[in-house]
């Protein structure tokens, strides 16, 4: 009996906590849209129809090389619970996984229990983590008086009575129903002790059964009369500590507002380990979209506020795309910015003191607007080795190297300089200089005072060009050929990275099974092509 109890505790001991996630980079997948089974027709998936296209847990498992070869060390998948089963609604089918009916049952559209276990096992064999999306706020219905027998919770007392949402009231956000009268989302009474206990039992069982390493906690977000009021107050705050403690793994929540005070309130010992960094997303949009405000000050201000207001910036989830927002290429249209913005924000999110999250298809330059157009099938891209994919591979390889060989992940970020169109950031020994200048050349630049002695040889990892430090530790970045990002590190510090001709002996072996891959062999010419084609926004994910 004692042996059995010890065996049951082993998964909890091995579970990935918040600190284990600091150095990870996450690739987000909608299961139905990632990969098709053999023999399926790749031309029959129309996002506008909002229906099933055929992706499964098994097809993701069979196509993990594409994610791992880009250097990602974790995969976030859409919800695994049973969803609404019935006639197609005016809003389509539950292909996305967020219309949960019974959380305790698996969604057989995506496969069997063994299929999900096989996916988890394969990820772990590759040294990668599995993050699963969960929905606890509500269940999907087709009327405001649903048949409760189809749900996990079957008693009226376990749901809040139907009421129309008042977005200006926190109480209304917690207790009233999301959705509308066509597809109402029945609000679960998460103050009810029987609900709390059942959810804790379920999430503990799910995590143990499928060896899940982290949870992304969803709050389904319909169109609101005032989007600034949209946030994760749909569930009472005191529900979360017990829920996440029962899970025993890292929890990151969706708080869909750019108000940093609202978002920061949901990180800490009385709430969640982490939150998706919507305030930083808003600042990145303000700083880098073309056309747009191009307000670098918004970015520097948000960096300063983040250090003051978040419990732990190193655990925040940084992103520039997801299933609820338009693709970056839909909101930034400068012909070079379509690529340069990706490069700048990739670099920023790589060097940013946070966890970078890339939404599937971002590396393929998808340009869908909001739901459902931003949920395109990935297979139409042919999983091409695009310039953006190569950039992500380089940035992940660089970040993985820093995470695994230095204390970089725990170092703080410092703004060294900022102008109307540029910002220079220091984290560890890495300097990133980012700009919102697009295609046209501009007779301007940014001088940056670094902590390095004069004549220290730096190297730009995006071009492999040496960059000596001038007098008083200064470097200069000019934009005579248009805006391009620069990511610099002392040449001696790149030894063992596998980048820019440096061997990667330090990167081999079991210690680096966390998803760090052999480098993409890139000549100077290919890197120049990357520099001219891919830019601003991936840097915005990788390096705070």
Q: What DSSP string runs through 265-308?
A: TTBSTTSBSEEB-HHHHHHHHHHH-SSS---HHHHHHHHHHHHH
Give 401's contacts (C-beta < 8 A, 6+ positions apart).
496, 497, 498, 499, 506, 507, 516
Q: Is 187 annotated as a binding residue?
A: yes
Q: Is 520 annotated as a binding residue?
A: no
Q: Is 234 annotated as a binding residue?
A: yes
Q: Is 216 annotated as a binding residue?
A: yes
Look-up: residue for tokens 């992706």?
55
Burial class (CB in 10 A: 0-12, 13-18, 19+), 20: middle
Q: How far apart are CA 18 and CA 250, in angstroms?
A: 5
Rg (CA), the chain: 23
Neighbouring CB atoms inside 10 A of 209's CB total 14
Q: How far apart are CA 143 and CA 480, in angstroms?
A: 60
Question: How do 317-318 and 355-359 pair as beta strands?
Answer: parallel
Q: What DSSP string runs through 208-250?
A: HHHT--EEEEE------SSGGG-SSTTS-GGGHHHHHHHHTSE
Q: Is 324 annotated as a binding residue?
A: yes
Whether the bond between 372 and the residue before it is cis, its omega within 30 degrees of 0, is: yes
Provide the H-helix boundaries in 289-406.
296-309, 328-331, 337-351, 387-405
Catalytic residues: 218, 254
End-to-end CA distance of the chain: 48
Distances (CA, A) of 231 to 134, 184, 259, 261: 16, 18, 9, 11
Q: Is 340 annotated as a binding residue?
A: no
Run of H or E residues at 528:
helix 524-533
Annotated binding site for substrate: 99, 216, 324, 375
Annotated binding site: 99, 137, 174, 187, 216, 218, 234, 254, 324, 375
Annotated binding site for Ca(2+): 137, 174, 187, 218, 234, 254
């Amino acid at each position: 009996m004692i042996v059995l109890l010890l065996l049951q505790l082993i998964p909890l001991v091995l579970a990935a906590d918040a600190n284990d996630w600091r150095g990870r980079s996450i690739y987000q997948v909608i299961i139905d849209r990632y990969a098709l089974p053999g023999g399926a027709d790749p031309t029959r998936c129309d996002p506008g129809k909002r229906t099933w296209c055929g992706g499964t847990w098994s097809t993701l498992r069979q196509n993990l090389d594409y994610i791992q070869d880009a250097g990602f060390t974790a995969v976030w998948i859409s919800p695994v619970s049973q969803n609404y089963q019935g006639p197609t609604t005016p809003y389509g089918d539950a292909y996305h996984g967020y219309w949960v009916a019974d959380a305790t049952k698996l969604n057989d559209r995506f496969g069997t229990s063994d299929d999900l276990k096989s996916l988890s096992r394969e990820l772990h064999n590759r040294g990668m983590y599995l993050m699963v999306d969960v929905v606890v706020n509500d269940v999907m219905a087709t009327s405001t008086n649903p048949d409760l027998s189809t749900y996990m919770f079957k008693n009226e007392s376990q749901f809040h009575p139907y009421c129309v949402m008042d977005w200006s009231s926190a109480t209304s956000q917690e207790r009233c129903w999301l959705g509308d009268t066509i597809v109402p989302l029945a609000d679960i009474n998460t103050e009810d002790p029987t609900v709390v206990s059942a959810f804790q039992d379920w999430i503990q069982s799910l995590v143990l059964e499928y060896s899940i390493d982290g949870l992304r906690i969803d709050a389904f977000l319909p169109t609101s009369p005032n989007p600034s009021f949209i946030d994760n107050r749909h569930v009472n705050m005191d529900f979360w500590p017990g829920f996440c403690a029962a899970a025993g793994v890292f929890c990151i929540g969706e708080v869909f507002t750019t108000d940093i005070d609202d978002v920061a309130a949901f990180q800490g010992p009385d709430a969640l380990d982490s939150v998706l960094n919507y305030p930083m997303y808003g600042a990145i949009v303000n700083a880098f979209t073309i056309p747009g405000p191009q307000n670098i000050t918004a970015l520097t201000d948000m960096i300063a506020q983040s250090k003051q207001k978040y419990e732990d910036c190193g655990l925040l989830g940084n992103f520039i795309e997801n299933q609820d927002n338009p693709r970056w290429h839909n909101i930034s249209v400068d012909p070079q910015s379509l690529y340069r913005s990706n490069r700048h924000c990739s670099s920023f999110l790589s060097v940013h003191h946070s966890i970078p999250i890339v939404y599937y298809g971002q590396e393929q330059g998808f340009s869908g607007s909001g739901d459902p157009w931003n949920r395109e099938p990935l297979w139409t891209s042919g999983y091409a080795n695009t310039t953006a994919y190569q950039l992500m591979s380089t940035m992940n390889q660089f970040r993985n190297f820093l995470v695994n060989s230095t204390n970089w992940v725990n170092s703080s970020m410092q703004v060294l300089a900022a102008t109307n169109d540029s910002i220079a950031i220091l984290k560890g020994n890495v300097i990133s200089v980012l700009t919102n200048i697009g295609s046209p050349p501009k007779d301007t630049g940014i001088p940056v005072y670094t902590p390095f002695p004069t004549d220290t040889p730096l190297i730009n990892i995006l071009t492999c060009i040496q960059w000596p430090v001038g007098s008083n530790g200064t470097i200069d970045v000019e934009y005579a050929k248009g805006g391009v990002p620069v990511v610099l590190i002392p040449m001696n510090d790149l030894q063992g990275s596998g980048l820019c001709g440096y061997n990667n002996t330090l990167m081999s072996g079991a210690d680096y099974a966390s998803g760090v891959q052999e480098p993409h062999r890139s000549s100077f010419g290919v890197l120049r092509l990357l520099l001219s084609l891919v830019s601003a926004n991936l840097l915005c994910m990788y390096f705070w």
